[in-house]
Each structure stands twice: as C-alpha cells, then as structure tokens.
Amino acid sequence: MDKKSYIELAREKVEKKCFYLSHHAQIERGKEKIRVDDIVSAILNGRELEPYPDDPRGESCLIVGQGLDLRWIHILCGNFHGKDLLIITVYIPKSPKWEDPFTRRE
C-alpha cells in the first residue's frame, strides 16, 4: 500500500471531525477573522503547498485552500499519525511574505 500524502491524512481527520486548533491558531484565526468552517473547507478542497517531513518538532505540512468566503488560507498542520490532526497556525497569505497564495517571496 502506498504511503498517504499529508493532505490525504489531513482530509481524513477533518472529515471525521478529529482535529483541534492550537492556542496560537485560535489567536491568529481571530485576528484574520477566519472561521473554523473556512479552515475545514480549505483543507477539504486545498492542496499540499510545503511539506516539512523533517521538522524537528514533528512532521508538518503547509496547506493552501479557499475558505467558504473564497479567501485563500494557509494552514500549517501536524500530528498526522496521531488521533487528532493539529492545526498549528492559520493565516491569510499576503505581501511581503507571499507573492500570491502559492508563491513565497525570496
């Protein structure tokens, strides 16, 4: 059996409602006015943008997708092999760090 991608693992957990937001993600979500439903939509309809398989804090992956309000959202996830997916942070990608939702500025 092939190893599942991070986005596949994330979708499975989100579909089962097996996920939680870190304290940091809750704060950032509030600042950016991102609803939990937008995060769910972005994961279910998004794609893997930057996988971090060797992160010393544990495997993680940056996912990009659109919320229900059609804004592009970046979601950093981890704990793919645990019971619940961890949403580490969420934010709206914008300048100066991001050229567009898919391209990091150099």
pLDDT digits (tens, 9 = 90+) for 6-57: 999 999 999 999 999 999 999 999 999 999 999 999 999 999 999 999 988 8
Tell me the mean pLDDT in the region 67-91.
96
In a domain, 1, yes or no: no
**What's the pLDDT tens digit per position in 81-104?**
899 999 999 999 999 999 999 999
Q: What is the predicted pLDDT for the residue at 2? A: 60
Instruction: Give strand pairing partners of 77.
Output: 61, 87
pTM for the full model? 0.93
Number of domains in the chain: 1
Structural domain that includes position 85? 6-104
Q: Is pLDDT above 70 for 1?
A: no
Detail the DSSP E strand segments found in the chain. Answer: 19-21, 47-52, 60-66, 72-78, 85-91, 98-100, 103-104
Per the listing, tokens 């804090």 go with 57
In a domain, 66, yes or no: yes
C-alpha 102: how far from chain center: 13
Q: Is the peptide bond before 51 cis (omega within 30 degrees of 0)?
A: no
